[in-house]
Structure 1
Amino acid sequence: MGSESVTLRRVHALDGGIARLAGEADSEGHRFMRRLLDEWCSGANRFNGDGEFLLGVDINGQIAAIGGLNLDPYAADARICRLRHVYVSSAARRNGVGSLLVKRIIFDASRSFATLRLRTATPEAAAFYERLGLRKSNQEAATHILDLQA
C-alpha cells in the first residue's frame, strides 16, 4: 500500500466489484467466493446476525479484498465466531491489504466474541493466518483458532 487511497467499509449490498472478485477467485480454484454470493442471494448468509459483518477493502475506490465474520455455525457456543470468505485480489496481494482486513475483523470480533475460528485449505493461507497470531487447531471444524480475550 503505497500512495493509494485505502478504505475499509462494511458491505451491506453486493455489487459488480464483489462479483469480479468472485470470478477471479473461481479462476484460481477458490469456490468459497461463489458460495458467498450464492448464500447472500438466497438469504442464507448476509452477515447480519448479532456481531456479524462483511468487510471490504477498497483501493482507489475499487474493492480489492473482502472477508466476513459469522457466529460459528459449527459451534454450540454463541461466544465463538468464524472468519469466512477472506479473499484478496491478485493485484492487491503481498502489500498488507489482507493483513489490514483480517486485523480489523479480529479487532471488531473481540467486541462480541471470545474465540475466533476458521478453516483454510491451503498452506499459504495457513501461514498467513499464523503470522497474524492464529494457532493451528486440531478441532474437526477449524484449522485455526484465536482466543480473543487474551
Structure 2
Amino acid sequence: MRLRFPIRVARLAALPPGFEELAADATADGQRLLEVLRQDWESGAMRFAGPGEALFGAFAGDALLGLGGLTRDPYAKGEGAARLRRLYVRRSSRRQGVGRALVRAIVAEARAGGWARLRVRAPPAAFPFHESCGFLRAVGEASATHVMPLRPAAPGTP
C-alpha cells in the first residue's frame, strides 16, 4: 500500500485516535509492545512525560501509522543515556519511511534534551533497520542491542 498523504510526525500528550487499531495490528504481528504501552500509560508507570522524554505518532492524513517513544534509560549505568521505546509501525505502512521519520524525531528530541547517547533493545529482525538509521551494535552494554552517540564523550569517560 502506497501512502496517499505525506508522513507527519507529531509529539503526543495522550494515546491518539487509532491507537486501538495500531495495537491490534501489533498483536496480530506477534508483538506485545503496544499492549505494554497501554498498560503502562493507564497505570501511570510510563507516560513519556519526564524531563527529556516524549512520545511521537506518525500519521498520513488522520491515520495513525506508527508510534515511538523516548525515555531515560533505566538500564544504563551512569547518567546521560536515553532509550528509544515502543517503536512500532503498522505492517501495511512499512518500508515507506514511517519508522525512519519516527526515529529522526526521537533522535532530534534526544539531542535537544541533552542526552549523551540513545540506546535500544531491538529484535534481530530489526537490526538492519536500526543500523540504517545510524545506530551501532552495542558491545558490552547490558539490556541494549544498539546505541547511538548523540554528543562527544567528555575526556576520560567511556
Instruction: Return the match for 1:149 from 142, 151, 158.
Output: 151
The structure with more radius of gyration? 2
Instruction: Provide the TM-score with structure 2 as the length reference.
Output: 0.88
Does the aligned pair in 2 maintain the 1:19–1:37 contact within 8 Å?
Answer: no
Identical residues among aligned pairs (%): 37
> Among 113, 116, 119, which residue is 2:118 paired with?
116
Structure 1 residue ranges without an equivalent (≥5): none
Rounded to whole Å, the distance in 2 between the matches of 1:144 and 1:98 is 16
Q: What stretches of structure 2 of length at least 5 have no aligned partner?
A: 153-158
The aligned counterpart of 1:60 is 61
Deviations 1:46-76 (A, max 9, x none): 0000000000011111110100000001124
Report the TM-score when normalising by structure 1: 0.93
Give the equivalent residue in structure 2 for 1:75.
76
SS at match of 1:110: helix
Give the Cα–Cα distance (whole angstroms) in 2 for the partners of residues 72 and 48 of structure 1.
14
Distance in 1 (alpha carbons) for counterparts of 2:121 and 2:6: 31
The 3-state SS of whatever aligns with 2:36 is helix
> For 2:30, what is the secondary structure of its paired residue?
coil
Superposed counterparts of 1:130-149, under 5 Å: 130-138=131-139, 139-149=141-151
Distance 2:65 2:52 in 1: 23
Change (3 A) 1:28 1:3: closer
RMSD: 1.5
